[in-house]
A and B are shown apart, each in its own frame.
Chain A
Amino acid sequence: MNGRSPTSLEAPRDEADLVVDSATGVNVSLPVAGAGARSYAFIIDWHIRIVLFLAWFVVATLVYNGSWDLAPPAEPTAGYFGLVIAPGAALYFLYHPVLEIAMRGRTPGKRMAGVRLVTRQGAVPSVPAHLIRNVFRLMDFFPVCYALGLVVVALTKDHVRIGDLAAGTLLVYDRREHEGVLEHVNPAVIGTRLDVSTAELVEELLQRWQTLDASVRQRLARTLLARIEGVAPESISLSESRLYTRLMQLARGSEA
């Protein structure tokens, strides 16, 4: 872009976006996740790992002891190590690499935080990239609690830790919350009284009508109608049912 004004082929660029050139000439824009989303995802994953490890430990120990006793054997035995310790440790330490590969750059924590891993080309990272990213956790963890990793995340432009620098990956937001938006807009009403943004708002308010408090939905409806009519919100004195009907007419393009 360097000094040129953006064209329709280039996304309206946010500083925090990863912009990838594509074969069509229309670039792909991916919002980069920061330290907050990254930490949120990690904390969820860490809790899942701990719960899985403890669940395995408890169940396997009970099976190994053959009684309601969680005490480890006095002398370490191959059976105890092989049944209880080794699989539990594998669950804990292989959680990230295995799930990231299997879920194409996501883990349950990343999914809940609404982020995913991509390469700098916007694609799903390769298996070696996933592995190298996780090997470098040894450095990112240094000296405790991912302190070095967090410092690097704070200092780098794309908010990446050392593992991401090594693997050429970064964390971007998944914009899944917009999937239902197409259901909300009736193309027939665009160009009548509503522009696209207002039509989206009207449809969304109608969809959420029953879930909102009566006072809140009336206030929002009045504000929206005032904006459409170009009058002050106080001048709209319709009852709740009339407000709903009016919004429906606007959304369906059936107003008189």
Chain B
Amino acid sequence: MTDALREQALRATLLQRSALWKEAAERARRLMTGRTDDVSDAVRLVDDYRLLAHDLARARRLMPDSRVRSFLESAYAQAHATLYKQASHPGYALWSLFRDQIPEATRSIRSHIVWVLLLFVTALGVGGWMVHTYPELINLFASPSLIATVERGELWTEGLLNVVPSSVLSLQILTNNIVVSLFAYCAGFLFGLGTFYIVGLNGLMLGAVFAFTAQHGLDDDLFRFIVAHGCVELSVMVLSGAAGAAVGEALIRPTTPRRSQAFQQAALRTSKVLIACVVLLVGCGFIEGYISPDPSYPLWTRVVVGVGYWLFMVAMLRGWVFGRSRGTEAVEA
């Protein structure tokens, strides 16, 4: 038998197995889309995977430019994706996320939290000093309407509930805060400089506005407005900034052979902190919409809410809210 005849015979034999390939492709598709939970299907997929690999290897050699080979490539890729699909346990995954993964991710960026906090506090002090020393610099940080309101001896937050209902205010505030927080994180992509800029600017603005209200005897009122939601809101700003800084550091000082790999690892690790930030900001939004602008709440109530929510944040970031204690083993989802 010549080589050409032998190869033709091999091709014909290979094509006779097409019914098996179709079955394998269909089974992989069923398992991928969750249209079957039959154990025997899952077990047979392993055999299918081997069968497709074997026949694809032959097809690549015997009929490299045929559409049969393309079909096998597709079926093999489908079987591969199905076989390597992670098991889906949404409830367990969520519990594991809050109990173990968020605390571990937060722990991994401890040093970044300290540095970003330092940056924020420094910017706060600098902003306050600038406006205290050169009052006209407030024009750099605040809008003309805000300046005019404070100069009239009023705080811009007074009568807020007469203009916008609490629910609308809450949703507007939490949406805005979440976007700022996500932006502070994503800006870490610019080698951390974006995060540095956003955190620094927010610190400068807060310090400047506090100094400006102090000049008009309204700083107590501003503190009264901020304390209930601000403890967590500002902490979350620092947290998301720290997560962004960790992403930036991964690009500046990669711990893997490739920068892109280091970036990916840092982004996936720190994204868990971001989930916690979003959840906490939802709470902040409601406090800022319902409690902060409502004058009927006395200062002590606001302090209790602010400090209490901050302690809840710490407990959540340590995993205590979800049953994690010191020495608890991590649970894989």
Contact = CB atoms under 8 A, between A and B. Distances in A.
Interface of A: 8-12, 20, 22, 24-26, 28-30, 76-78, 81-82, 86, 89, 104, 118, 121-124, 126-129, 131-132, 135-136, 138-139, 162, 165-168, 174-176, 178-179, 181-182, 184-185, 187-188, 190-191, 195-197, 200
B108 interface: no
A138 B70 contact: no
A197 B63 contact: yes
A139 B165 CA distance: 32
B71 A167 contact: no
A122 to B, nearest CB: 5
A109 B267 CA distance: 26
B14 to A, nearest CB: 8
Nearest to B79: A28
Contact of B168 (A77, A139, A185): A77
Interface of B: 5, 8-9, 11-13, 15-16, 18, 21-22, 25, 32-33, 49-50, 53-54, 56-58, 60-68, 70-71, 73-74, 76-77, 80-81, 84-86, 93, 164-168, 171, 175, 179, 182-183, 185-187, 189, 247, 260, 263-264, 267-268, 271-272, 274-275
Nearest to A136: B186
Nearest to A137: B186
Contacts of A128: 268, 271-272
Given A81-B168, A126-B86, A187-B18, 11 more contacts: A8-B57, A22-B53, A26-B53, A122-B84, A132-B271, A136-B267, A174-B74, A185-B18, A195-B63, A200-B66, A200-B67
**Closest 8 A-B residue pairs measured CB to CB?**
A191-B8, A187-B15, A24-B53, A166-B267, A78-B167, A175-B74, A8-B61, A26-B53
B168 A76 contact: yes
Contacts of A162: 189
A181 B70 contact: yes
Given A126-B86, A167-B268, A168-B264, A8 B58 contact: yes
A192 to B, nearest CB: 9
A28 B73 CA distance: 7
A208 to B, nearest CB: 14
Contacts of A30: 77
Contacts of B12: 187-188, 190-191
B66 A127 contact: no
Contacts of A176: 74
Contact of A131 (B57, B165, B271): B271
B324 to A, nearest CB: 19
A241 B68 CA distance: 29
B32 A104 contact: yes
Contacts of A28: 76-77, 80
Most buried by A among B15, B86, B171: B15
A163 B15 CA distance: 42
Contacts of A191: 5, 8-9, 11-12
B58 to A, nearest CB: 7
B313 to A, nearest CB: 21
Contact of B263 (A166, A178, A200): A166
A136 B264 CA distance: 12
B68 A185 contact: yes
Contacts of A196: 11, 15, 62-63, 66, 68
Contact of A20 (B50, B71, B80): B80
Contacts of B76: 26, 28
22 contacts: A10-B60, A30-B77, A81-B165, A81-B167, A118-B81, A123-B85, A124-B85, A129-B268, A131-B275, A138-B186, A139-B187, A165-B260, A166-B264, A166-B268, A174-B74, A179-B74, A182-B22, A187-B12, A187-B16, A191-B11, A197-B66, A200-B67
B70 A182 contact: no
A175 B70 contact: yes
A234 to B, nearest CB: 27
Contacts of B185: 135
A25 B56 CA distance: 11
Contacts of A195: 8, 11, 63
A124 to B, nearest CB: 5
A86 B61 contact: no
Contacts of A127: 93
A252 B60 CA distance: 25
Nearest to A89: B175
Interface centre among A22, A77, A128, A185 (most CB of B within 10 A): A128
Contacts of B164: 76
Contacts of B264: 165-168
